[in-house]
Amino acid sequence: MVEDELRLADTVHRGLTDAGFVVELVHDGENAVWAATEHNYDVIVLDIMLPKLNGYRVLELLRARGVWTPVLMLTAKDGEYDQTDAFDLGADDYLTKPFSFLVLVARLRALIRRGGPERPVVLTAGDLTLDLTRRRVERNGREITLTPREYGLLEFLMRHRGDTVSKTEILAGVWDPAFDGDPNVVEVYVRYLRKKIDTPYARHAIETIRGMGYRLNPEGG
């Protein structure tokens, strides 16, 4: 979700999370383009009025980059840009502020359904599975309970499974992008995850690439 009005962003964020969505929030156009290019979201909620790059341009950039994630635009009723623009630009749906929260959820579900079966709802790596909608992690059919942070980290690693991701990237992707604390947290949480996920298995699903970062074995370790 890309929304700069903090109040609205917070409300919607909470509501969507309660509705079972996993929500990532950015507050301006530049971060939106970056995040959407980097991750593979199911759907993007995009406000038109944004700092740095407006929603208009964000959408344009994403499409130019070959990012075809469905986009639902939020337009102000009497703003500079009207509904026609949203569709012209390749938005998949739009809502005019103020909008009903239930309508938003319904539209999002429709978009995700429409975008369809090729989009994974469940990430897998060998015998490890992570169900994004239910927020469940299993290994070999046994459920593993994770804290929110642990879950976020695992989701990030699974989205990039097979790639080596640096601790900095992890911090930016899982922690607050502006987090500036000790990168050692990542090590600590990797440890927590390994404890829960790898034991009692022989091989580590999460490999350490010394000097570079971590890598989730696509075969699940």
Partner DNA sequence: CGGACCTCTCAGCGGATTCTCAGCGCCCTG
Partner DNA sequence: CAGGGCGCTGAGAATCCGCTGAGAGGTCCG
- Residues of the shown chain interacting with its own copies in the complex, contacts defined by CB under 8 A: 60-61, 64-66, 87, 93, 106-107, 110-111, 113-114, 133-136, 147-148, 151, 162-164, 209-212, 215
Q: Which does 113 bind (CB under 5 to 8 A by kind): DNA, its own copies, none?
A: its own copies
Nearest to 61 by CA among 86, 36, 79, 25: 36
Q: Is 219 left (phi over 0), alpha (psi -120 to 50) or beta?
A: alpha
Nearer to its own copies, 10 or 163 (CB): 163
User: In whole angstroms, what is the distance from residue 62 CA to residue 41 CA?
Assistant: 12
194 makes contact with DNA (CB under 7 A): yes
Beta carbon of residue 158, minimum distance to its own copies (angstroms, whole number): 15
For its own copies, the closer of residues 14 and 114 by Cβ is: 114
8 Å CB contact between 121 and 101: no
Q: How many CB atoms lie within 10 A of CB 95?
A: 18
Nearest to 217 by CA among 103, 127, 100, 84: 127
Show the 3-state SS of 119-177: CCCEEEECCEEEECCCCEEEECCEEECCCHHHHHHHHHHHHCCCCEECHHHHHHHHCCC
- What minimum distance in Å lies between the beta carbon of 133 and DNA? 18
Q: Which does 184 bind (CB under 5 to 8 A by kind): DNA, its own copies, none?
A: DNA
**CA dist., res. 123 & res. 112, Å (int):** 16
CB of 149 to DNA, least distance (A): 3
Site string for DNA, 137-156 (x = CB under 7 A): ----------xxxx------
- Name the residue nearer to its own copies (CB basis): 10 or 90: 90
Neighbours of 220 (CB within 10 A): 19
Which partner in DNA, its own copies, none is near 190 (CB below 5 to 8 A by kind)?
DNA
**Contacts with DNA in 34-73 (CB under 7 A)?**
none
Name the residues that contact DNA, by CB under 7 A: 147-150, 167, 175, 179, 181-182, 184-185, 187-191, 194, 208, 210-213
